[in-house]
Amino acid sequence: MPSSPSPLDGPAFDTAHPDALFPLAPPPVADPSGFAGLERLPLPELVAPDWAEALSGVEGELRQVLGFLTAEAANGHVVLPQPSNVLRAFRQPLADVRVLVVGQDPYPTPGHAVGLSFAVDGGTRPIPRSLANIYKELDADLGIPPRIHGDLGRWAEQGVLLLNRVLSVRAGAAGSHRNKGWEAITATAIEAVANRDSATGGPLPLVAILWGKDAASVRPLLGQAPAITSAHPSPLSASRGFFGSRPFSRANALLQAQGAAGVDWELPPLP
CA-wise closest residue to 206 among 165, 153, 161, 156: 161
Strand partners, 210: 102, 229
Contact 224, 234 (CB under 8 A): no
The residue from 105, 121, 141, 214 that is catalytic is 105
Separation CA 63–CA 66 (nearest Å): 5
CA-wise closest residue to 36 among 62, 68, 59, 58: 68
* Residue 105 annotated to the active site: yes
Contact 27, 110 (CB under 8 A): yes
Separation CA 70–CA 97 (nearest Å): 30
For residue 136, give the amino acid letter.
Answer: K
Residue 259 CB: number of other CB atoms within 10 A?
A: 9
Q: What angle do CA 186, 267, 141 make, to 5 degrees?
A: 85
CA-wise closest residue to 117 among 30, 193, 199, 19: 19
Active site residues: 105
